[in-house]
Structures are given as C-alpha cells and as structure tokens.
Amino acid sequence: MLDQPLIKLVLLLSVVVVTAMLTRSTAGVRHQAVRRLLLVGFVVLAAIAILFPRVLTQVAQLLGVGRGADLLLYGLTVVFLGYVAASYRRMRELEQQVTTLARELALRAAVHDTTEYDTTEHDTTEHDTTGDDPDAPPGQSSRRSLS
C-alpha cells in the first residue's frame, strides 16, 4: 500500500480537484475559464506525450510509476471519472429544465382550454328546449306521445 506514494498522492489530489469542480455551480464565467484552461492544458500535454514519449516515461518514473503508458492510463481514468460525473450532472439539469417546461406548457394549455370553454359556454344563441328533433321533417316532433 505504501509503495509508489507519490503517484497515489497525485491521483487522489486529482480526484479531489475534479470532485470540487463538479460540486460547484457551472453557470459562472470563472468556471468556464477554468474549463477552457484545463482543455488547453490537456491539448498541450497530449502533444508533448505524442511528440516526446520518453518525457511521459520520465515523469511516470519520477512519480513512481513504471511506464508512461501506465501514467497515461491513470490520468485518463481521472479524466473519465470527471467526464462521467459532469455528464450526469448536466443530464440532471436538463431533465429538470424539461420537467419545468412541461409543467408550464401543461398549465398554459389548461388555462387556454378553460378560457376557451368559458367563451363558448356564454354563447348568445338560444337553445331549443322543446325536445324536437332538428333532423325531423317540419311540423313533426320527435317526441312520442304517452297516450
């Protein structure tokens, strides 16, 4: 457990930093700036790892990891954890927005239907209360006599 303490410390700190970033609000400009800086840092580190693979191996050995590929795997694991957590959080926020919008639309539709019902209910035309069938020939009632 105490072998390779430096890489374990670096990875644990990375997980803590990712967790802290994910628990903060994503609406601010500062958060967007941090995300963009991390993206630029990722691109620079990826370019260095591709162009100079021995540098990655040397950094890995400095941290107590045998190979650069292992260090890359550890780093990608932390990044993937952050991506999954951020995607989950974003999906929850979108689901909440969709729920709120659906509720607002349902309320608006209900108010619109109620308003439409009220205007048709107060129609000024008189209704025939004699019980005559409108489809019956003129002068004949659709009522059956009881006698």
For 33, what's the count of Cα atoms within 13 Å in the CB-facing half-sphere?
Answer: 3
Which class for 60: exposed (0-12), middle (13-18), buried (19 or more C-beta within 10 A)?
Answer: buried
Dist CA 80 CA 74 (whole Å): 10
Predicted confidence (pLDDT) per residue in 91-132, tens digit: 999 999 999 999 999 999 988 888 777 666 655 555 555 555
pTM score = 0.57
Q: List pLDDT tens digits, range 47-71.
A: 888 888 899 999 999 988 889 999 9
